[in-house]
Structure 1
C-alpha cells in the first residue's frame, strides 16, 4: 500500500468519525426538548391520538401532571420518555409508606418497561403558605423507597417541580437564594436530591417576569432576541432572561448545599393570546430561539438544558386568567401554531 492510499484511508476514517460525531450531537440536541401534555380541555385529542401526535412530530419526551391511566396505556411501546406528576392534593396520602408503595405499583411497575419513565415529579409548585409543604418531602422519600424497592432507582429519578417565586435576590443571578420561608422545606429537599442523584425540576417563565415588570424587563431580553449583554454578573454575561432565571436557580441550589445538582426546566412557554405581549409572533420567536438556545446551556452551566415546552395543546378549561388557556404549541385540533423543529 503506497502513501497516497494510506492518506486516503485515513481521510475516509476521519470523515466517518466526524459524521458519527455530528450525528451524535444531533441526537443529543433532539433529546433536549420535551413537551408538556396538559389535559385541561374538553376538545382535546384522545390519549392514543395525543401519543401518536408526539411520535409523528418527533417529540421524544413528555410530561404529564398525574398518572392518567389512558395516557399510560397509550404510551406503551411508544419509546417516549415520560415525566409523571403527583398532584399536590395527593401528597398527604403518600406520607403513608404503604400508599406510596401502592402508587408505584399501580402507576409505574404495572407499566414498566413498556413505558419509559424518566422522572416522577412529586408535587408541582407547592405554595409557600400551603399545608403541602410539610407533606412534600415525606411523600418524596416514600416514593423513592418504593422505587428503590423495585430496583428502579437508576432508571427513574424522584424530584419535585418548583416555581421561581421561591427565590429572592435574583438580580444578579449569582446573588439568588431560597427565601427564608422556602428554605425551611427546600433545604432538606436539596439534600434528598443530592443523596439520590436526582435533578431539581423548575418551571421557568420569562413571560410572567416580563409582564410583572415591563419597565425593568425588555421584551427583547425576555424573547431571547437582545443582541448584546444586558446583565453583567462578575465574569458572566447575560443576553436573555431565561438564562438568568435558570442560573438563579443554580445559585440558590449551591447556597443550599446542592453544588453538583442539575436543573431540568420542567415547564416554559409563551402564550399566543389572552394577555399583555401574548401573540403568535412573540410566542413563535420565544419557542424558536429557546429550542436552539438550550442546546448550549447557560453562562453558568455549559451543558445542554433538558427543557419541556408548555404545552402541546391549548387547554380551554384551565383555571386562571384567559392567558392560561393559550399556551398550546398546537391547536386542540392538532394544527401547528408555529413552525418549530423538535429535532
Structure 2
C-alpha cells in the first residue's frame, strides 16, 4: 500500500457566479521515501493540489470529492483535531517565501521550540537542543547563534535552510515543497535542492516537489506529474517523460527550455496562455493551444474539441491525450493483423 494515495480529487471554489473547479479528477500515489515532482505553468493547479493534501484550502475553497489516504487514513474525513496531528508532524510543508512563513517578531529558536512543544510533551530545554541539531543538519553556520536571531537578520538562503530545519523537526514521513527556491539566486537554489535531496535520502522521507523548473525536477525526482488547467495530463517516471514526452503540452514545456533553442534565436514557446478555470474550453482543455489537433491529412480530431480525454498507457507513462490514444490504436491493429 502506498504511503500516500490520492484518488479522483476534486477541489472547487464557491464564488457568487458559481463554483469554479480548481482540481479535476486528480489521482496519484507516493511510496515511502519516494520523490515526486508536480510541474506545469502558473494556474495549472500545482499549489492547490499541495494545499489539498493537508486540507489547507482556505474558504471559499473546499474539497468537493475524492479521497486522500495517508498511511491508510482518509485525510478528507478527519476532524480538525486529528488533522493537526498530521500537519507538521507526519506531513510537513515548505512554502515559497520564507519571509511569509517565519514570524518576524519571534527569534528562530522561539519558533522552532514552539513548533516542537505543540506536538510533543517536552521541556523548552529539550526542544531547544533538538532545534539546534536540526539547524546543524541543514548546514547553517554557527547554529547556536542563529537560534537567537530574527528572520530579518538572515540571508534568503539561510532563511530557507531554517524553513527546511523546521519541516524536519518532527521527523515527518512526507515533505511537500511548494517552489522552495523561487526567491533565491541560481547558486543558492542548487545548494538548497542538493541539501533537500540529501536529507530526504538520509532519513527516507518522501518528497513532493511543486515547481515549474523541469531542470530541478529531472535532477531531484523519480516520478513526475504534469498538470494543465487543474488536471493531470501525463504522469510516469521522470527520466522517461523528460526523454520522451508524450503529451503535446509536455513536449511544449520541454521545448521551451533555453537549451532547446538555437543560440541567438528566439526561445521556443507554447502559443496562447493557460485558460481561466471559470471558462475552460470544451473537450481537452489544451486543444486551443495544441499544434497537433489537426492530422497530417488536414482533418481535425473532433474528439479533442468535444471529449475530455481519458488516460492511456504508453510505456511506463499514463497520458490523457486523444492523439496519443489514436497513435497507440494504429500500432495495436497492425500487430494483431500479423498474428
Q: Using structure 1 for the length normalisation, give the TM-score.
A: 0.32
Decide which structure has greater strand share.
Answer: 2
Decide which structure has greater helix share.
Answer: 1
